[in-house]
Amino acid sequence: MASLAIFGVGVIGEMLLSALLKGGIPPGDIVVTEKRADNAARITATHGVTVVDNSVAAQGADLLLIVVKPQDVFGLLDEIGSSIRPGSTVISLAAGITTASIEAVVPEGVAVIRVMPNTPALVGEGMYGVSVGSAVSDAQLEAALSLLRSSGKVLVIPEADQNALTAVSGSGPAYIFLVAEAMIAAGVAAGLSAETAHDLTVQTVVGSAKLLAASDVGPEILRQRVTSPQGTTAEAIAVLEARGLRKAFEDAIAAAVARAAELSA
């Protein structure tokens, strides 16, 4: 039986499965669970992994990735709890579910790790925020980190910071996509074709992200280097600042943090 089990292959579960396979994990090392027969057949045909029931997956796994909806986590754990072997590791990707609440319902000796992913994992550029429960050994943590590094970068943080991390990196790709949407629409309004505006925007976002990641200075300095006094960029930045861009992002992040706290409660 495969040593890695993914419980739930909805949007996020399939994203993670795809990322792990692209990162080099053989399909034969992974089993998944899926209650919808049509989706199970599609997952097998698309990814080459075996679909089994929850108890079978739990019995054979050293690493159990819980990717069901938060409201379904404890129902799943009630079902598979007796099948989880001591010494195994439960990795929960369910937003708002604490490690302590999972530890309370799994067998003694089971390590629990909480993870917040984001969608760029699909192209090997994910950002994973990881928090450890009370019974996680160094070896178990390293095994989880190694698994996640196959599709992105990993940051170990205190669990108290998970809501803020969720607001910044978990939800963050949507903010970037929204900015890209707005830039494309503005380009079209300025007279470009939709295709040209799209291509210009996408490459600008990709190139800027790579430059920021490779640079030894922060975004403020990079922005200043592009912004010549009284030039076109300065005019555009002045409008964005006057319209309250920074405050809008501050309020948006705060709202996402507050919603994450509500979900945790």
φ, ψ dihedrals at 84, nearest 5°: -75, 125
Contact 83, 59 (CB under 8 A): yes
Predicted pLDDT of residue 101: 94
Predicted pLDDT of residue 11: 83
Model pTM above 0.85: yes
**210 pLDDT higher than 50:** yes
Encode pLDDT of 105-122 as tens digits: 999 999 999 999 999 988
Average pLDDT over residues 138-156: 93
Q: What percent of the chain has pLDDT over 90?
A: 81
Average pLDDT over residues 24-33: 92
Encode pLDDT of 62-111 as tens digits: 999 999 988 899 999 999 998 999 899 999 999 889 999 999 999 999 99
Predicted pLDDT of residue 1: 42
Q: In terms of C-beta distances under 8 Å and separation of at least 24 residues, what long-range contacts does 105-110 make, across chains too?
A: 105/74, 105/77, 105/78, 105/81, 106/77, 106/81, 107/81, 107/82, 109/135, 110/84, 110/85, 110/86, 110/135
Neighbour count for residue 207 (Cβ, 10 Å): 10
Predicted pLDDT of residue 19: 86
How far is the C-alpha of 177 from the C-alpha of 171, rounded, in Å?
Answer: 11
How sure is the predictor about 2, in pLDDT bands with cuts at 50, 70 and 90?
A: low
Residue 120, classified by CB atoms within 10 Å of its CB into exposed (0-12), middle (13-18) or buried (19+), is: buried
Coil vs helix vs strand at 51:
strand
What is the number of H-type helices and E-type strands within the chain? 12, 8
- Mean pLDDT estimate for the chain: 94
The number of CA neighbours under 13 Å toward the Cβ of 41 is 2
- Domains annotated for the chain, with CATH where assigned, are 4-157 (3.40.50.720), 172-264 (1.10.3730.10)
Encode pLDDT of 29-63 as tens digits: 999 999 888 989 999 999 999 999 999 999 989 99
Amino acid present at 84: I
How far is the C-alpha of 70 from the C-alpha of 94, rounded, in Å?
Answer: 5
Encode pLDDT of 150-168 as tens digits: 889 999 999 999 999 999 9
Q: What percent of the chain has pLDDT over 70?
A: 99
- Angle formed by the axes of helices 232-242 and 245-264, nearest 10°: 50
Please identify which residue in the block is written with the tokens 């760029």: 120
Residue (of 260, 238, 259, 241) closest to 249 by Cα position: 241
For the record, the structure tokens of 48 come out as 């080459």
